[in-house]
A and B are shown apart, each in its own frame.
Chain A
Amino acid sequence: MDMLIAPERLELAEAVRDYLAGTHGPEVLRRLDAGPNRDPAIWQGLVDMGLPGLLVPETHGGLGMGLLDAALIARECGRVCLAEPLVESAFVATPWLIAQGQTANLAAVVAGEYRPVAAHAINGWVADGEGESVASIDPLRRLAAPVEAQSDDPLLLDLGALMSAAQLVGLAEAMLDQAVEYAKIRTQFGQPVGAFQAIKHKLADVSVALEFARPVLWRAAQALDDGAESAALHVSHAKLVATDAAYLSAESAIQVHGAMGYTYEVDLHFWMKRAWALGGAWGSRAFHLARIDAAVIGAAHPIGPENTFA
């Protein structure tokens, strides 16, 4: 039994973090918002790191990694509020196609030339799909009415929910960082607002929520990767706590920023809106809570201390 993510296993996600931190700062979000929302050069950078093929088996030219690795990287995508559809295409649609034995186009996936989209009935839209565009409050999201058949496969839903949870954790972490930085530099009453205890405690609460959301996320990713019978329960758990942490972080961050936070000029809004989007995508709160309710209260799943990893 080992809940620790081995340091070697974090290396790729750390490399992605460094790369995105250097190339995908908030100025990129502003530029994309003012223009066409997508940038082939950014996508190519992700392709060069091998990320579209992360979950593609090595026999098909991919990196052959697992869902935990993908979740670690999806979190980094959330951190920088990545606009390119890497997560939905490479970490949701691609593994689902592979699970169904649809391996014909994997070389094109790895090369970044084909980006599969995943249409699930629970959403009612498709991210980066071909159909008629649907407006989202998130200026960098490209939603489309589904033109393809919408699946109701629970595996697809679980992949979408898990990867949304991972991005939500990254989004929440980034919003907390922004709030902390702002609280250090904004002074009122002759001191940084971050020295006021009301501000400190608000941000400490976000830290608590994140500290106890992360291990739930990793556990869910591993369970889904292992094909554990209880994986859906753990994915729902992760989606709920990640959504709650992201909303809490967003509301705390805007409060700490004061009126600045309410403007379109401060970048916080990009992260906040992505959090609202992903919080509702791939199963609402009610949907995921109902799955937990059925397992825990409905006695479908063994609970109690001896069943920590059931």
Chain B
Amino acid sequence: MHLAYTPQQQAFRAEVRAWLAANVPPAPLLTLECEEGYHQHVGWERQLASGNWGMVTWPEAYGGRGLDLIEWLIFEEEYWGAGAPLRVNQNGIFLLGPTIMEYGTPEQKERFLTPMAAGEKIWAQAWSEPGAGSDMAAIKTTAFRDGDHYVINGQKTWSSRASFADWGFGLFRTEEGSQRHKGLSFILFDLDTPGVTRRPIRQLHGHPGFAELFFDDVRVPVENRLAGEGEGWNVAMATAGFERGLMLRSPGRFQAAARRLVELFRQHEHAAAPSAREAVARAWMDAQAYAYNTYAVAAKIMAGGKIGAEASLNKIFWSELDRTMHRTAMQLLGAAAELRHLADGSINEWLEGYMFSLSGPIYAGSNEIQRNITAERLLGLPRVGAG
């Protein structure tokens, strides 16, 4: 344990800070859930990539900087501290990218990672189906082999970014008659392939942040399969591990929100409930605790360790922290909470954030599922009965 940054780490922080100060758009972009905002965010990804900031931990060969996880955390701290835009590229860089690095062939790495880091191809995740939400092994959409192609038929849903994105990845049943976790394969597909129909779905806020995907004899080349045929479940679990574990929600995001909440509290202090004071202090505490834990996990991984089922604890913690912070802000705002724009004309980010925070405990494996995993895999409680 050593709680000081090295001179190199400090220099790196200064470099990130300077670049962001010169490049972060002065006015917030439109939400990435609407078409125009989506394209603005893609533009931002390309700007990041032009400075090689797309994914600093990736090898330079794929457009990264070959840096370690502590430097990644420093980057993220500066990123969120600077109020930079949300990452429209997150499904690619945080989830699929690490999965390809682990399971991809050299050709797949070459083909997919570089355009990913460059922000040229934006990815959508396609696991869920109408009948397969928490119970993902109930997937029915099939991808049967026809020569050197798979032919996909069926339906996916709630696929984030899929309304506008370029490519998708997901699990498909490649073995006829297979059950549950068996016979599934992890396949990447171009969302513009003939036979794919996207139906954008409006979310709480009114924008089409996710979409239904219909597959009607969609032909996808076999080389788009990641890892072996029938091995998809294990690959998907690795992706889910990245999602719940270290990458998807870096602490800086919540620390920045906690700081904004403190500022909001100061403005509304005269009218705040006594409980709000504690909730605000608590927001800072929990965001800090999440940061310390992330630094510890990063150090563990750098020392050769792995994150296992503890990723579930992480996911429960950040998603509920986010919701609590935004609820506190809604309560501080009082009668202004419902307004889509605040008095100065700016978007009511607390309201937008509160709506989004309600989805945190649902996506990436609901928090009930995470609690089941915690109880069964970390605490060793019996699996029989419910759950």
Chain A residues packing against B (C-beta within 8 Å): 1-6, 9, 68, 176, 180, 183-184, 191-192, 194-197, 199-201, 203-205, 207-208, 211-213, 215-216, 218-219, 222-223, 226, 228, 237, 240-241, 289, 292-293, 296-297, 303-309
Contact = CB atoms under 8 A, between A and B. Distances in A.
A304 B1 contact: no
Interface string B131-173: 0000000000000000000000000000000000000000000
B384 A191 contact: yes
Contacts of A176: 379
A194 B381 contact: yes
B286 to A, nearest CB: 7
A200 B384 CA distance: 12
Given A191-B384, A197-B372, A211-B293, A308 B379 contact: no
Interface of B: 1-6, 9, 13, 17, 70, 76-78, 80-81, 251-253, 255-256, 258-259, 262, 265-266, 277-278, 280-281, 284-286, 288-293, 295-296, 298-300, 303, 310, 313-314, 316-317, 368, 370-372, 374-376, 378-387
Contacts of B1: 2-6, 9, 68, 218, 222
Contact of A207 (B6, B251, B379): B379
Q: Is the contact region of chain B dominated by helix, strand, or loop, or is it mixed?
A: helix
Contacts of A308: 77, 251, 255, 288, 291-292, 295
A309 B313 CA distance: 23
Contacts of B288: 216, 237, 308
Contacts of A297: 262, 265-266, 277, 280-281
Given A4-B296, A296-B280, 8 more contacts: A3-B298, A180-B379, A197-B372, A200-B375, A207-B379, A208-B317, A237-B289, A293-B281
B295 A3 contact: yes
A212 B317 contact: yes
B289 A216 contact: yes
B289 A213 contact: yes
Q: Is the contact region of chain A dominated by helix, strand, or loop, or is it mixed?
A: helix
Contacts of A222: 1, 3
Contacts of A226: 3
B81 A306 contact: yes
B285 A237 contact: yes
B371 A204 contact: yes
Contacts of B285: 216, 237, 240-241, 292
A213 B293 CA distance: 9
B81 A304 contact: yes
The 7 A-B pairs at the shortest CB distance, nearest first, are namely: A200-B375, A4-B299, A305-B252, A215-B292, A195-B385, A3-B295, A204-B374
A184 B284 contact: no
Contacts of B256: 304-305
A306 B78 contact: yes
Contacts of A201: 368, 371-372, 375
B310 to A, nearest CB: 7
A195 B376 CA distance: 9
B313 to A, nearest CB: 4
Contacts of A180: 379-381
Contacts of A203: 375, 379, 381
A246 B386 CA distance: 28
From B9, B77, B251, B289, name the one whose CB has the most chain A CB atoms within 10 angstroms: B289
Given A191-B382, A293-B277, A309 B3 contact: yes
Nearest to A195: B385
Contacts of A207: 313, 374, 378-379
Given A216-B292, A296-B281, A200 B381 contact: yes
From B278, B281, B310, B372, name the one whose CB has the most chain A CB atoms within 10 angstroms: B281
Contact of A211 (B252, B255, B313, B385): B313
A203 B371 CA distance: 9
Contacts of A241: 285, 289
A207 B374 CA distance: 8
A308 B284 CA distance: 10
Contacts of B295: 1, 3, 215, 308
A184 B381 contact: yes
B386 A211 contact: no
A208 B374 CA distance: 9
From B3, B70, B255, B280, name the one whose CB has the most chain A CB atoms within 10 angstroms: B3
Given A1-B6, A308-B77, A309-B4, A215 B296 contact: yes
A178 to B, nearest CB: 12
A5 B297 CA distance: 11
A196 B286 CA distance: 29
Contact of B281 (A194, A292, A309): A292
